[in-house]
């Protein structure tokens, strides 16, 4: 049974936390009318902020928000996903929505089972730059999702940035580890660089300005030039110069191995989130 998704249907977010806010901001900025977006969120303060900032309709619980709604975006934590889905299973059987989940680890098979079966599920992994339309999302669709369902999910997530379809769901945990969590790795590097700049005697505001513009400039070079990262790095690194001293220190400290291990651990945590919350 294919999902019941039409072009003009409302989108309901189940969970109105950090990531839902980023996606809603992206949708509104891309021209989705606020009247087409509903959010179910138990925390009154979050509901009020979303209604005020974006003009979306807000609800205290999911059951009040879902009737007649074709796309359900599950944006709750993996730990509560099963309870939330099971509470909506009766409505899912009646409405046949397209279920879009952004939860780390939770599989399409689990989501479909908890929603009572026969539901099209698109498992996605966006990231927080979605708020600026500069995100990237990996998407996997189960066999119940038809071409219209795929197009609807892709259209929803493309307002948050780029989209990449993943055909082997087992790889979604690696997507989560690389791009879902990835902004935090860049922020961690920025934090460490700022602290090091202060250690070298730079005033706080100068340290912040130098680091932020460096991250922005480097990200733009990475995305706007055709050169691979290694070549861009080579061009900064004068033989016997300052960059070489720094890069050799990173390499000697096992930087690459540390990044590989961090991403492997994040990938494994995704698998654990699935198993622990089944
Ligand atoms: N943050 C990120 O960068 C990314 C997060 N994700 C995924 O997005 C999901 C949400 O993460 P994030 O936004 O950070 O988490 P948040 O905790 O900020 O948001 C989840 C929200 O859902 C609410 N909630 C809990 N139960 C229900 C319910 N029954 N109905 C409706 N809402 C409910 C929570 O309320 P309460 O606090 O009271 O429980 C909370 O406000 C997670 O599954 C995560 O794996 C994916 C990509 C990136
Ligand atoms: O840390 C997490 O589990 C979520 C998923 C990716 C980003 N945040």
Residue with the nearest Cα to atom 24 of ligand 1?
15
pLDDT digits over 14-37, tens only? 999 999 999 999 899 889 999 999
Does residue 125 have its Cβ closer than 6 Å to ligand 1?
A: yes
Pocket test for ligand 1, best of 19, 26, 111, 160 (most atoms within 8 A of CB): 19
Boundaries of every domain in the chain: 11-175, 182-273
Nearest CA to ligand 2 atom 1: 181
List, for residues 184-232, the tens digit of each pLDDT value.
999 999 999 999 999 999 999 999 999 999 999 999 999 999 999 999 9
3-state secondary structure the chain: CCCCCCCCCCEEEECCCHHHHHHHHHHHHCCCCHHHEEEECCCHHHHHHHHHHHCCEEECCHHHHCCCCCEEEECCCHHHHHHHHHHCHHHHHHHCCEEEECCCCCCHHHHHHHCCCCCEEEEEECCHHHHHCCEEEEEEECCCCCHHHHHHHHHHHHCCEEEEECCCHHHHHHHHHHHHCHHHHHHHHHHHHHHHHHHCCCCHHHHHHHHHHHHHHHHHHHHHCCCCHHHHHHHHCCCCCHHHHHHHHHHHCCHHHHHHHHHHHHHHHHHHHHHHCC
Q: What is the pLDDT of residues 106-156, one digit of tens each?
A: 999 999 999 999 999 999 999 999 888 999 999 999 999 999 999 999 999
CATH architecture of 182-273: Orthogonal Bundle (1.10)
Question: Would you say residue 3 has pLDDT above 50?
Answer: no
Binding residues are 14-19, 75-78
* 19 Cβ below 6 A of ligand 2: no
pLDDT digits (tens, 9 = 90+) for 64-76: 999 887 899 999 9
**pTM for this structure?**
0.94
Give domain 11-175's CATH architecture.
3-Layer(aba) Sandwich (3.40)
Q: What is the pLDDT of residues 71-92, one digit of tens each?
A: 999 999 999 999 999 999 999 9
């Amino acid at each position: 049974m294919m999902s019941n998704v039409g072009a003009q249907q409302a989108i309901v977010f189940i969970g109105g936390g950090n990531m839902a806010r980023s996606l809603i901001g992206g949708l509104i900025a891309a021209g989705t009318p606020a009247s087409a977006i509903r959010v179910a969120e138990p925390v009154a303060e979050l509901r009020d902020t979303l209604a005020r900032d974006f003009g979306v309709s807000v609800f205290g619980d999911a059951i009040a928000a879902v009737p007649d709604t074709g796309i359900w975006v599950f944006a709750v934590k993996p730990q509560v996903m099963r309870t939330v889905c099971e509470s909506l299973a009766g409505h899912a059987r009646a409405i046949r929505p397209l279920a879009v989940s952004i939860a780390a680890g939770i599989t399409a098979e689990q989501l479909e089972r908890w929603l009572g079966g026969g539901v099209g599920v698109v498992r996605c992994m966006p990231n927080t730059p979605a708020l600026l339309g500069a995100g990237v999302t990996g998407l996997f669709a189960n066999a119940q999702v038809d071409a219209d369902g795929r197009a609807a999910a892709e259209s929803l997530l493309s307002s948050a940035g780029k989209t990449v379809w993943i055909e082997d769901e087992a790889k979604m945990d690696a997507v989560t580890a690389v791009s879902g969590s990835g902004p935090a790795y860049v922020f961690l590097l920025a934090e460490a660089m700022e602290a090091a700049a202060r250690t070298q005697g730079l005033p706080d505001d100068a340290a912040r300005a130098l680091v932020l513009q460096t991250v922005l400039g480097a990200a733009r070079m990475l995305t706007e030039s055709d050169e691979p990262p290694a070549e861009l790095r080579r061009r900064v690194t004068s033989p016997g110069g300052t960059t070489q001293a720094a890069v050799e220190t990173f390499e000697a400290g096992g930087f690459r191995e540390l990044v590989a291990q961090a991403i492997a651990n994040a990938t494994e945590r995704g698998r654990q989130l699935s198993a622990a919350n089944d």
